[in-house]
């Protein structure tokens, strides 16, 4: 298998530290708000990577942190803790916010068929580990105390900008919300390991430490949690591209300074989901969540399908039109699958299995080329072989793609049956609904999404169930 490595900026043959075993770490969400579908693009693509490694026979251990303290509104250690901001916004405690949005995150993941990592560790569970690591860095003279905070001293490193061949714009997206000068820092790239004095007094969660009451910096969380659960040799570290700098750069700096050798071999970064007006975010434009897509009548798995149709190393533009196209294509695929007959008397065609599995593996072996992987699903449907073999292959590839192909096809079949047996509406009402659906189709054609949504909402209120299918919208009561 070949995997692109952000460290070398090349596709490399994938080799593990221990034969057959993969240690994999993923930066988890900052649980101050719902995840937007951009965040979830990263988790979908990381999920595919994990599942493909398992499909290829590796024993994978995947660890994810939950950032419930220390991630400030700028990734450059300034601004307010995002958790405190979230708590103020909702007039709740930080821990209430953390609990609520952690649950919400995993509910979204479930809807998108994203597997829960083997270990999920909230940062607030690991304060002892953070303190021990900061202590170790101070002892090794990689850290210093200034103005009450503990800082990592980047001037002690041979190389700091480990991902420096990235486009400078890509690197700077990590430093959001502006950067303020911190006069305690000896070098401009130094970063906080432990805060005791920050310019705001309202930090909700604080712990005792050898340097005074305070709280950890964001970067130390991932290093310490990874070392705790995966040891000193990490195979793959994942995250969205905005995390490459400064977050992952700082993780490498402090982890390698602490353990004294190379830490992680492969860095897997997912490019952003953007809107037509730039990077998707929680604070600007429409806050796009899985629930919002559902309210608008989209199947969350159609969003997963949309993500799989493009490569993780290309930025992807979200628009409702693009999602409509993906949902249409996904439905068409399901219609074809629903037409396959599972005939017990048929035998699996081993030659077809071999040929198509090789094709599927070649696609995924090539730096997780999911769009080619999806194409192989159509090759299966077109193959000159029996339906039983086709169903077997679709189910097998779905272990990686996780589109619930067979279940969704079954649901589609059942919804068609329901349509036939649904109660009949009187003629005038039917005429009204048909007219409204025609207006909605026209609005969609003209990209007038607000009007299309308004019509849908009005019909829903009147008890009309709408199902968007490849042959247009169908309705029932
Ligand atoms: P956060 O909750 O802000 O810590 O981010 C969670 C994950 O989403 C991280 O891996 C980010 O790099 C990633 N991420 C943030 N914005 C986007 C985006 N627009 N598209 C894809 N991934 C993103
Ligand atoms: Zn992280």
- Confidence (pLDDT) at 409: 96
Which residue ranges does the chain devote to CATH 3.40.50.620?
2-270
- Confidence (pLDDT) at 175: 47
Percentage of the chain exceeding pLDDT 70? 93
Task: For residue 165, name the pLDDT band (cuts at 50, 70, 90).
Answer: low
Task: For residue 285, name the pLDDT band (cuts at 50, 70, 90).
Answer: confident
Q: Is the pLDDT of residue 90 over 60?
A: yes
For the CA of 29, the nearest atom of ligand 1: 2
Summarize pLDDT for 184-238 with one digit per residue, the tens: 899 989 999 998 876 556 677 889 999 999 999 999 999 999 999 999 999 999 9
Determine the distance separating the centroid of ligand 1 and the alpha carbon of 395, expressed in angstroms: 30
Summarize pLDDT for 114-129 with one digit per residue, the tens: 999 999 999 999 999 9
Q: Is the pLDDT of residue 351 over 90?
A: yes
Which residue ranges does the chain devote to CATH 1.20.120?
297-416
For residue 358, give both structure tokens. Answer: 């090789």
0.85 surpassed by pTM = yes
- Confidence (pLDDT) at 177: 44
Higher-pLDDT residue of 190 and 475 is 190
Q: Which residue has the CA at smallest separation from atom 16 of ligand 1?
A: 39
Q: Which CATH number fits domain 297-416: 1.10.287, 3.40.50, 1.20.120, 2.40.128?
A: 1.20.120
Indicate if ligand 1 lies below 6 Å from the C-beta of 137.
no
**Fold topology of 2-270:** Rossmann fold (3.40.50)
Q: Is the pLDDT of residue 400 over 70?
A: yes
**What's the whole-number mean pLDDT along residues 310-339?**
96
Determine the distance separating the centroid of ligand 1 and the alpha carbon of 361, expressed in angstroms: 28
Pocket mutation for ligand 1, best pick of 39, 106, 225 (most atoms within 8 Å of C-beta): 39
Q: Is the pLDDT of residue 304 over 50?
A: yes
């Amino acid at each position: 298998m070949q995997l692109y490595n952000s460290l070398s900026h090349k596709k490399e043959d994938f080799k593990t530290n221990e034969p057959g075993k993969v240690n994999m770490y993923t930066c988890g969400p900052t649980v101050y708000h719902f995840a937007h579908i951009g965040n979830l693009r990263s988790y979908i693509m990381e999920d595919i990577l994990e599942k493909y490694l398992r499909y290829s026979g590796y024993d994978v251990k995947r660890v994810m942190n939950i950032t419930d303290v220390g991630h400030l509104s700028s990734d450059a250690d300034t601004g307010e803790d995002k958790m405190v901001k979230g708590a103020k916004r909702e007039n709740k405690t930080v821990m209430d916010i953390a609990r609520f949005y952690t649950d919400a995150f995993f509910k979204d993941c479930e809807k998108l068929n994203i597997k829960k990592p083997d270990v999920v560790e909230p940062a607030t569970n690991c304060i002892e580990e953070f303190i021990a690591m900061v202590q170790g860095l101070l002892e090794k003279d990689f850290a210093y105390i200034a103005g009450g905070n503990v800082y990592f001293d980047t001037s002690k490193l041979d190389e700091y900008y480990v991902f420096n061949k990235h486009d400078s714009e890509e690197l700077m997206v990590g430093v959001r919300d502006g950067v303020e000068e911190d006069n305690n820092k000896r070098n401009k790239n130094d970063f906080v390991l432990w805060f005791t004095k920050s310019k705001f007094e309202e930090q909700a969660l604080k712990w005792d430490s050898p340097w005074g009451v305070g709280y950890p910096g964001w970067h130390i969380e991932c290093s310490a949690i990874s070392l705790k659960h995966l040891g000193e040799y990490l195979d793959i570290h994942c995250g969205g591209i905005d995390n490459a700098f400064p977050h992952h750069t700082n993780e490498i700096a402090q982890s390698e300074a602490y353990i004294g050798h190379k830490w992680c071999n492969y860095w897997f970064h997912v490019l952003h989901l953007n809107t037509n007006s730039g990077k998707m975010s929680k604070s600007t434009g429409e806050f796009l969540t899985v629930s919002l897509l559902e309210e608008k009548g989209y199947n969350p798995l159609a969003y997963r399908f949309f993500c799989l149709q493009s490569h993780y190393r290309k930025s992807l533009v979200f628009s409702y039109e693009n999602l409509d196209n993906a949902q249409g294509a996904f439905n068409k695929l399901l219609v074809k699958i629903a037409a396959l007959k599972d005939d017990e008397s048929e035998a699996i065609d081993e030659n077809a299995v071999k040929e198509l599995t090789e094709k599927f593996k070649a696609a995924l072996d090539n730096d997780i080329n999911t769009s080619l992987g999806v194409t192989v699903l159509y090759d299966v449907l077109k193959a000159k072989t029996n339906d039983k073999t086709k169903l077997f292959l679709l189910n097998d590839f779905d272990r990686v793609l996780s589109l619930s192909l067979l279940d969704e096809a079954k649901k589609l079949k059942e919804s068609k049956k329901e349509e036939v047996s649904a109660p009949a509406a009187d003629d005038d009402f039917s005429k009204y609904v048909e007219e409204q659906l025609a207006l909605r189709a026209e609005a969609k054609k003209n990209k007038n999404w607000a009007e299309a949504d308004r019509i849908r909402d009005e019909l829903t209120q009147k008890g009309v169930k709408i199902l968007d299918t490849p042959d247009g919208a169908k309705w029932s009561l």
